[in-house]
Amino acid sequence: MAQENIESNLHEDRRFPPSEAFVKSAALHADDLEALYAKAKKDHEGFWADLARDLIDWKQPFTTTLDSSNAPHYRWFPDGKLNVSYNCLDRQLEKNADKTAIIFEGEKGDVDHVSYRDLHKKVCVFANALKAQGVNKGDRVIIYMPMITEAVIAMQACARIGAIHSVVFGGFSASSLKDRIEDTGAKVVVTADGGHRGGKIVPLKQTTDQALENGCDSVETVIVYQRCNQGVEMKDGRDIWWHDATQGQSEDCEPEWMDAADPLFLLYTSGSTGKPKGIQHGCAGYLLNAITTMRWVFDIQDSDVFWCTADVGWITGHTYVAYGPLATGATQVIYEGVPTVPDAGRFWDVCARHGVTIFYTAPTAIRALMKVGDELPNSYDLSKLRLLGTVGEPINPEAWMWYFNVIGQGRCPIVDTWWQTETGAHMIAPVPGVTHAKPGSCTRALPGIDAAIVNDDGEEITKANQGGYLVIRKPWPSMIQTIWGDDQRYKDTYWPYFGGKYYLAGDSARRDEDGFFWIMGRIDDVLNVSGHRLGTMEIESALVAHELVAEAAVVGRPHDVKGEAVFAYVVLKGTRPEGGVDEKLTQELRNWVGEQIGPIAKPDDIRYSDNLPKTRSGKIMRRLLRAIAKGEEITQDTSTLENESILLQLQGKA
């Protein structure tokens, strides 16, 4: 995939070093970081082995670090035994028993503080409840819950008894839930009567019932948590209330000691075929990278109040809500609802009231809140914030600058993290006490992560700003083990080129003169315009850099001459033009992109809408945008869209 050398002037020459105050308090300094890089380069396996011994409590220590005999099905620490829940909870009881583990805030304003002692008891009780329902080691449990403490309890309980959990985001439809139940062969579904989200009640139990109407024969029990006091139907012999299932259960539950490479969880992610893939992660390796990245990237310290806004239905909510914070003894915030209820100041209100020091969210949320303006965040006391983070997609430089100046008030480093469901934890990210960040760049690969950019022949591209395939050349502990039930699809998807030697991330990227990584977009989101390859993310960043643009999404559409044309969907900071047409503004934006990137990148089409089509989790449905750009009939399920009415605007019909 030979890439054109495309220059961008979007803040690439601007560097933001950490403040002296942050450097002074940071746990990891420049000398420490360079020592880690040197050790990892000299002895890759020994580097990870030493960290595993230092950071994980083992029931049976490992003697083999990495088994590559069945590559690319790598097995880390294969002869060791441990329990992930024990490492998150039991080992905190000695010094952190009374420390707050979770500060929960419901969308309606209810607040609960749960100590490590109480969380340990609640997890043991629910683990015993699962065992009473016949759940054993290796059984699969579907968790379809609101973003509440009990979702984390259910995940930890599964880990405690060796059951394999698969969390399904509460915004997914009955059809999506059914697909995941059937693919896992789940024995139990854990859900709730409903959840509060966006000022409404999400009918989780009702959706679960619809999913189970036809098929899903493996499900024997549905455990229902009473969150909203909704009147729901309970099927005799199958459904049981959480409070009834836990009644009388012991507060002690001996952990199931697992082989290090045993599966911990399955998490489904979209695939190029449209059929979701069940990403399988193991125990020890996943736990290790969750801990190291909490320490290296978030600089987690005993006094921190950590808040990752992700739902546990996504990998971010697994690693940086359910496991990483608990394994490092942190206090964290869990919030049930959306950032705009009762108004767009909710995130900042939560930060101020609970004294949040580390805040980690998605660029989509940042851009949406930026659109509202500075007045709301400026009305809250955000002085306790000391570190900000972004996750999920590349952040455009203008949103980065707003986040830095308005939310971080110019004093908080920003960690722009690149990683995937498949990688399990951060792969490329700043180390906040060391890295001189650049807006829009995820900076350097972390110690022990051999990330590179290669051409079609698998040769590393060393020339600055020339893009290619982003790959990882050496195995790492938290890597995907396989696709559940489909080893061949795992090989075909992630190891298809370069003789199966490199993990293919599916992203295109480039490195600048300082060796910093810039993610350009998915490989299938790289446009080939007149023989020039353009990253959609770069064009989107250029559009959003314009003072009138709040958000943008770019896709390609077939073009008789160019091969592909650039098609842009734009959300303005002001009101949408009448009828969705403003030829003068369109020309202005086209010229702007030409100035920022080059004439070849000018959008051929710009369509204005009030919002972009997003799932309830905030993810832009790019396949839908591509279908509209091509003039195709929309046949895919749009039930997970946050606002289905936006489709008419996107199609130019309103």
**pLDDT tens across 635-649, in order?**
665 655 556 667 778
Structure tokens, 116 = 């490590």
Report the distance separating Cα 62 and Cα 260, nearest Å: 9
> How many of the other CB atoms lie within 10 Å of CB of 531?
10
Give the Å distances, CA to CA, from 205 to 105, 352, 382. 22, 34, 38
Is residue 537 pLDDT above 90, yes or no? no
Is residue 525 pLDDT above 80, yes or no? no
pLDDT of residue 270: 66
Is residue 274 pLDDT above 90, yes or no? no
pLDDT of residue 173: 82
pLDDT of residue 414: 98
Q: Average pLDDT in the 593-601 region?
A: 82
Mean pLDDT (the chain, rounded): 92
**pLDDT tens across 13-22, in order?**
689 999 999 9
pLDDT > 90 in the chain, percent: 78
**pLDDT tens across 333-390, in order?**
999 999 999 999 999 999 999 999 999 999 888 988 998 999 999 999 999 999 999 9
Residue of 421, 371, 370 lying closest to 619 (CA atoms): 421
pLDDT of residue 638: 61
CA angle 254, 156, 183 (to 5 degrees): 115
pLDDT of residue 560: 74
- Greater confidence, 578 or 248? 248
Question: Is residue 8 very low, low, confident or very high in pLDDT (cuts 50, 70, 90)?
Answer: very low
Using CA of residue 577, residue 580, residue 581, residue 587, what is the dihedral sign? positive
pLDDT of residue 152: 98
Is residue 278 pLDDT above 50, yes or no? yes
Using CA of residue 129, residue 131, residue 136, residue 137, what is the dihedral sign? positive
Is residue 271 pLDDT above 70, yes or no? no
DSSP label of 528: E
Is residue 475 pLDDT above 70, yes or no? yes
Query: What is the model's pTM?
Result: 0.86
Q: At what angle do helices 116-132 and 149-161 cross, to 10 degrees?
A: 60
Is residue 9 pLDDT above 50, yes or no? no
Structure tokens, 143 = 């968790």
pLDDT of residue 640: 54
pLDDT of residue 13: 63
Q: Average pLDDT in the 444-468 region?
A: 95
